A = this chain, B = another copy of it.
């Protein structure tokens, strides 16, 4: 059979299938005529593959879907090859694979048969049919999975206008960074491609220890630093190694949903602790149960922007000591302060504090890098390193090595300084654009730090209306209420300004001013 003839048969059989005229299976070798015809069709269907592969898939699909029934004898490879116009080796290779996988069996002297196996008989067509999507999906999930999903809102592919937590990607020294990465990838030891259990590239931990001591007043030796694939992975290790399901974690209210998701997935009870102008107030917790963990963003509370006072910091450390709890200090964007030096970390405040410091390169470099770190008390170093190597694996050693040089040579500090200027400028720009609204009563959070502002609103209806209008404009406004576990005391919007280029920021600010003046309380 020539290719053109085969094509003709295939197209005829396509029609047959469409009209459901294809002969039914079951009658055995006598019907080899329909089998080879239909296989010809198959060969057309799987046209992207080799002939052997097409024949293999065709026969296999038919066994699976019951078109070829258990115990049915197949034509000999010689006969099939002739019928299909294929080389005999092509057919034999397909048969061999099906025999090896157990779909076919041979009985000595009497030929090749479909294996006698309990394939679930389905009525689906030959090609995999698309399964129904959406609907009662949550029914399949576990209780913890369902609870977890409450913290995993559908995130759209957003334009970055006002999205909090995204740095100025347009200002990242991408070419320089990539040259550095390339050089380190090229000359890195071959071992670095394999599984690693060191806790991260030593040079990076050394550079980080220096940097953290100098700029964050974190006290640690390089060995106390564990490199992880982002702050979230640090949280994961902490909850697994230091808490059990049913334990309490104190969290800031409002607070960071990423940490909340992690705590929820770990089966922890979350006690919201109110945040006021001085930061998280542990004195305000009424519950009798001691926490195992306390999660806090003291340098620049997320999302309210408050800096925790020294008195509150000491009260927090005292409470942690009293309860035997570990404090998770999430120092996500403290590098960006516009008035004075960044506020020193909680971690170095007192000796032997029960603090685990978690840092990320997502803000000071970029989120897609997936690198962060955990600074651990000496006793916890070894368990954390082991658990991380086992549960999450280490990797990206070439990139880590490049980052070590980036820090050690001062590029990192320079980039931070530049971004500090950039964000200060962008914040000022946004404030200017919002000034008319502020003059008419819009309240903005203090802006001495960070990458976002909070615009406090008078009522939830206004919040809702602004978000809706924003969506129509392609501007994604983050609701302050989505950061609360309980009913929010005051509605508001979280306005990220760091990642939005100036022109866009200005027009988005003007839009918001206009919308607020139209909808606001006047």
A: residues with CB less than 8 A from B are 48-49, 53, 56-57, 60, 64-65, 96-97, 100-103, 115, 117-120, 122, 124, 128-138, 140-145, 148-149, 151-157, 160, 165-166, 169-170, 172, 174-175, 178, 181-182, 185-186, 190-198, 210, 214, 217, 219, 221, 229-230, 232-233, 236, 240-245, 247, 257-258, 261-262, 265, 267, 292, 309-311, 313-314, 317-318, 321, 339-341, 343-344, 348-352, 362, 366-370, 377-383, 386-387, 389-398, 499
Q: In the complex, are the beta carbons of B144 and A172 less than 8 A apart?
A: no
Q: How far is the CA of A100 from the CA of B341 in the complex (A)?
A: 9
Q: Establish whether residues A390 and B261, one from each chain, have CB atoms under 8 Å apart when the complex forms.
A: yes
> CA–CA, A39 to B103, complex, Å?
83
Given A194-B160, A245-B245, does the pair A395, B370 have CB atoms closer than 8 Å?
yes
| Copies of this subunit | 2
Chain B positions within 8 Å of A102 at CB level: 309-311, 313
Contact of B377 with A395 in the complex, beta carbons under 8 Å: no
**A155: which B residues are within 8 A, CB to CB?**
197, 386, 389
Known contacts A49-B214, A196-B368, A380-B140; A240/B145 CB under 8 A: yes
For residue A393, which residues in chain B have a CB less than 8 angstroms away from its CB?
230, 232, 362, 367, 370
The reply to whether A140 and B242 form a contact with Cβ atoms under 8 Å apart is yes
Q: How far, in angstroms, from A153 to B129 measured CA to CA in the complex?
A: 45
Whether B118 pairs with A217 at a CB distance below 8 angstroms is no
| B194-A118 in contact (CB<8A) | no
List 10 extra interface pairs beyond A120-B351, A262-B391, CB under 8 A.
A64-B349, A119-B314, A130-B221, A135-B379, A148-B241, A148-B390, A149-B241, A178-B186, A195-B362, A229-B370
A140 engages B379 (CB within 8 Å): yes
Q: Known contacts A142-B247, A393-B230: does B170 contact A195 (CB below 8 Å)?
A: no
Query: A144-B245, A241-B145 given as contacts; is B118 within 8 A of A366 (CB)?
Result: no
Chain B residues with CB under 8 Å of A392's CB are: 229-230, 232-233
A340 touches B370 (CB 8 A): no
Tell me the nearest residue of chain B to A387, going by C-beta.
B152
Q: Nearest-CB distance from A131 to chain B (Å)?
A: 4
Residues in B neighbouring A367, C-beta threshold 8 A: 193-195, 393, 395
In the bound complex, CA of A186 to CA of B130 (Å) = 37
Q: How far is the CA of A57 from the CA of B217 in the complex (A)?
A: 8
Q: Give bound CA distance, A232 to B391, whole Å.
A: 6
**Are A133 and B378 CB-contacts (below 8 A) given A155-B386, A182-B178, A344-B60?**
yes
Which residues of chain B are within 8 angstroms of A153 by Cβ–Cβ distance? 386
Which residues from chain B contact A244 at a C-beta distance below 8 Å?
142-144
Q: Which of A64, A134, A143, A265 has the most B CB atoms < 10 Å from its CB? A: A265
Min CB distance A168 to B, Å, is 10
- Residues in B neighbouring A154, C-beta threshold 8 A: 386
Cβ contacts under 8 Å, A145 to chain B: 240-242, 383, 387
- A339 CB to closest chain B CB, in angstroms? 8
Task: Report the minimum CB–CB distance from A306 to chain B (whole Å).
Answer: 14
Q: Given that A120-B350, A193-B366 are known contacts, is A390 also in contact with B165, CB under 8 Å in the complex?
A: no
Chain B residues closer than 8 Å to A210, beta-carbon distance: 48
The reply to whether B265 and A141 contact each other, CB–CB distance below 8 Å, is no
Q: A137-B383, A379-B133 are in contact. Are A115 and B310 (CB under 8 A)?
A: yes
Interchain Cβ contacts under 8 Å between A and B, 30 examples: A57-B217, A64-B351, A97-B340, A100-B340, A101-B343, A102-B309, A124-B351, A128-B351, A131-B378, A131-B379, A133-B379, A136-B379, A140-B242, A141-B241, A141-B383, A144-B245, A145-B240, A148-B241, A149-B386, A157-B197, A165-B195, A166-B195, A169-B191, A193-B369, A229-B229, A229-B370, A236-B391, A240-B265, A367-B393, A370-B396
Residues of chain B with a CB closer than 8 A to A118's CB: 314, 318
- Min CB distance A459 to B, Å, is 29
CA distance A313 to B119 in the complex (A): 10
Q: B217, A193: Cβ atoms under 8 Å?
A: no
Q: How far is the CB of A333 from chain B (nearest CB, A)?
A: 14
Query: Contacts A130-B378, A232-B391, A368-B396 hold; do A169 and B152 have CB atoms under 8 A apart?
Result: no
In the assembled complex, which residues on chain B have CB atoms less than 8 Å from the CB atom of A369?
A: 193, 395
Quick one: which of B130, B343, B350, B397 contacts A119, CB cutoff 8 A?
B350
Instruction: Find chain B residues with CB under 8 A from A65 CB.
Output: 351
Q: Please indicate which of the listed interface residues A128, A262, A381 has the most CB atoms of chain B within 10 Å of its own CB.
A: A128
How far apart are A328's CB and chain B's nearest CB, in angstroms?
14
CB distance from A70 to the nearest CB of B (A): 11
Q: Contact between B149 and A172 (Cβ–Cβ < 8 Å)?
A: no
How many Å from the CB of A467 to the closest CB on chain B?
A: 19
**Could you say which of B194, B240, B389 contacts A166, with CB atoms under 8 Å apart?**
B194
Q: Most chain-B Cβ atoms within 10 A of its Cβ — which of A193, A242, A309, A350?
A: A193
